Structure 1
Amino acid sequence: MTDTATKIAAGLERAFISHGFAEPNVETLRDAAGVSLRTLYKYTPSRDEMVLSALEHRHLRYLDHVFAPVPGAGDLSLAEIIDRIAEWMATEAPHGCLFHAAVAAAPQNGRLLALLKQHKSEVAAQAATLIGCESQAVDLAFLFEGLTQTWPLLGAEATATAKRFAERL
């Protein structure tokens, strides 16, 4: 992404987090992106493209948050990955997964559904590779999805439960 594309995607992500996917009009999205309407449409020529751009940006931020190495910490453990997902939920997604919210707002949009599936499977596959259990990527996807879906209801209790289930893998 170029600097302008990243700036737009970050602003759109913030707007969709704050206002949902149905509410913000194009002026709100333009203001959030911090660019002219012409520039917004140059980089994201439709509302669907705006949503996809925001979610692709969020996907990269999420991967960085969950999997970026901590200097001197060595390899990540499954418990550390769960803690990082929980931290993300607490700070970035206390009301639930933005990818699921986007699909719920436009259930007929196949590109959104594909992006949701890609996001979830990539997170699970990367975690499975990091902890050396590639054959359990689907189990990890289930575990992480359970954590992210129950976080808004249970908070830290969801994290503790996820860790208990992770010990059984």
Structure 2
Amino acid sequence: MQRVRRGLDLLLGLVCCTLLAALVVVLVWQVFSRYAMNAPSSSTEEILRYGVIWMSLLGAAYAVGQGSHLSVDILRDRLSHRGKLRLDAVIALAFMLFAGVVLVWGGWKGVTIASRQTSAVMQIPMSWVYLSLPVSGALMILYSLLNLADLSQGRTHHVDPEEQPEMMGE
């Protein structure tokens, strides 16, 4: 299981980093073409919009796998180790339910509806954009299953703020 998690982390991290680097290049081109050449590129805004959608949803799936999603730890801090493991299991199951119903099932409905539409400028199928929902949902379910497998062995992937390295300037 750890090999699967490491491989998935590496692949998803590589995709997100590559996507971020590409978006930075597109943004620089957009600014340069608009202000230096006085001829703004028409497709850069769509590329950035759809790239941010994909990067955000893939990043959310990665956060589920790392246990670094947004959470309120007031209850968690008061639980025993066993209670924390149970709470983490409930959270993983909740992520699976949300990802399965909203992202995979609902997202696939969006993909099928959007398959008849194209983007305004680049004329790409909008289903490619909406595909980010079921893909990220499937990744969240996979990560949640990996998290549950780890929890069954007494390991957790919850990020503890006290174990985080100190930020510069604090």
TM-score (norm 2): 0.29
**Higher alpha-carbon Rg:** 2
TM-score w.r.t. the length of structure 1 is 0.29
Q: Which has the higher contact order (CA 8 A, sep 6+)?
A: 2
